[in-house]
Amino acid sequence: MVTRRLAERLLRTAARRWPAEVRDELSREWHAELHVLAERGERLRMLRFAGSLAVGRARVPLVARSGLDGPFRRTVATLLLAPPAGVAIILVAAVLMNLVYNQLLATVSWANAVQLPVLTGVTAGLAVLLARVVRRGAARTARTGPARNALGVVFPIGVTAVLVEYTLNETTEKLTRVAPGLVLWLAGLTLSLYGAGLLAGRGRVRAAWLVGVLGALVAADLAVVLTVVNLISGGPETVIDGVAQGDTVDRVSAPLWLFTSWTDWSFGLPRPTKREIFLITDLVELQPFLYLACTPYALAYAIRAARPAAPEPIAPPAPVPSGA
């Protein structure tokens, strides 16, 4: 059959472009697939299959396919399960915060002041534990380079953040309000992970952590600032019947807004005021804690996955028998 002969010729052309150590095995697999398609009478698929192999770019020598399945599956599982785990961390932290608050409410007057610090502390602690788990998993995942690692980490986080926001608000109105800040954070986190991965790939692990942590903090801070600036006025307060409404936030304290949203505190500075702190925390709500829950594991994965693999031990040379 002319179609099959043409397909076989394309497969031979494709096989010649691969390294000799894998050429025969690949050729057998391809011809077996071609035989199945020929028995089904699928001539067009035969040509498409063989043609794609003939024009496709040959890669570097590969290990057996079964050897790649494990790291690939672990990579996908790690990157897809970690963001929901980050959301679960926030939920657990919120439950513990409520327990602490209810215990303190009847005995102390400052119970309200400890809510956000407890939520932040528990979230940070559990996020570090998640990062340790992800770091161990990253050592056994597929190595794809710092750029792909960064995008692979950030994309599931973005999807999870959108789903959580939509679920909590049941409308797209709030989502569109916080979307610019979320996009800015994701972009900044991607750059931070990429930079950290580059440094880790060169063996500069401490520098990678420093660049990653500082970059992620700046990205999260700018995201909170953008959200507040977009939605809360910085001008004079609205006055109704001679009463100021306290509906503005002075921009002078903008660098502190991320940390204020975590601690409910102005760090002893005159700005932001208590009213401004309420406006900020009421607006950003979940976002700062999502940043806190996901950033540690994202950095841990990007840095560990980018580090050079440990060299294989070199077997000692076989002893040379003494001459007779």
C-alpha 148/C-alpha 170 separation (Å) is 33
Q: What are phi and psi of 135, to 5 degrees?
A: -60, -40
* Residue 90 and residue 33 share a domain: no
C-alpha 125/C-alpha 129 separation (Å) is 7
* Residue 293 and residue 158 share a domain: yes
* Residue 153 and residue 12 share a domain: no
What is the predicted pLDDT for the residue at 2? 65
In a domain, 319, yes or no: no
C-alpha 280/C-alpha 272 separation (Å) is 9
Domain boundary among 26, 55, 84: 55
In a domain, 313, yes or no: no
What is the predicted pLDDT for the residue at 14? 77
In a domain, 189, yes or no: yes
In a domain, 61, yes or no: no
* Residue 102 and residue 36 share a domain: no
* Residue 301 and residue 167 share a domain: yes
What is the predicted pLDDT for the residue at 67? 46
C-alpha 129/C-alpha 150 separation (Å) is 20
In a domain, 315, yes or no: no
Please give the model's pTM, rounded to 2 decimal places: 0.73
* Residue 45 and residue 149 share a domain: no
* Residue 229 and residue 153 share a domain: yes
* Residue 125 and residue 15 share a domain: no
Number of domains in the chain: 2
In a domain, 26, yes or no: yes
> Nearest-CA neighbor of 97 among 113, 112, 117, 118?
118
* Residue 94 and residue 23 share a domain: no
* Residue 26 and residue 167 share a domain: no
* Residue 122 and residue 25 share a domain: no
Structural domain of residue 27, as residue ranges? 2-55
What is the predicted pLDDT for the residue at 309? 54
In a domain, 62, yes or no: no
What is the predicted pLDDT for the residue at 234? 85
* Residue 6 and residue 80 share a domain: no
Kindly give the parts of the chain with pLDDT less than 70: 1-2, 19-21, 55-70, 142-143, 170, 241-242, 244-245, 308-324
Quote the mean pLDDT of the chain. Answer: 84
What is the predicted pLDDT for the residue at 237? 75
In a domain, 316, yes or no: no
